[in-house]
Amino acid sequence: AQRVTQPEKLLSVFKGAPVELKCNYSYSGSPELFWYVQYSRQRLQLLLRHISRESIKGFTADLNKGETSFHLKKPFAQEEDSAMYYCALWSNDYKLSFGAGTTVTVRA
């Protein structure tokens, strides 16, 4: 069975500082990993996918199969990045499993 672990429940950084959200997974197949974000009073939405290897809103995430990690990074955090972030894994049986989530607060 798949498992997604986000060890940090809360993360607080100053504006302009780097931010890194950790995500580790366990899955026997070939993983497809995502980061979803939920801003205050908004719906849960996709932030980025590992397959697309793109930067969204300054965030990047690299899949490291050796370390089974998919950490989310941004070099300079902005106040509008304050949100709840979920790491998620899509498995071959067509299910999306979520980590516990990390609440990010960016302080001025």
Partner 1 sequence: SAVISQKPSRDICQRGTSLTIQCQVDSQVTMMFWYRQQPGQSLTLIATANQGSEATYESGFVIDKFPISRPNLTFSTLTVSNMSPEDSSIYLCSVDTGSGANVLTFGAGSRLTVL
Residues contributing to the site for partner 1 (CB under 8 A): 32, 34, 43-46, 49, 51, 86, 90, 94-101
Cβ-contact 66, 24 below 8 angstroms = no
Compute the least distance from the CB of residue 80 to partner 1, in Å: 20
**Residue 96 structure tokens:** 């999306």
Is 34 or 70 the residue whose CB approaches partner 1 more closely? 34
- From CA 82, how far away is CA 63, in angstroms rounded? 23
Bridge partners for 104 per DSSP: 11, 83
Alpha helices in the chain (DSSP H): none
Q: How far is the CB of 79 from partner 1 (least distance, A)?
A: 24
Nearer to partner 1, 40 or 66 (CB): 40
Least Cβ distance, residue 37 to partner 1 (angstroms) = 11
Nearer to partner 1 by C-beta: 28 or 41?
41
Residue 91: CB minimum distance to partner 1, A = 10
Rounded to whole angstroms, the Cα distance separating 60 from 71 reads: 8
- Report the residue number, 11 or 96, with the smaller CB distance to partner 1: 96
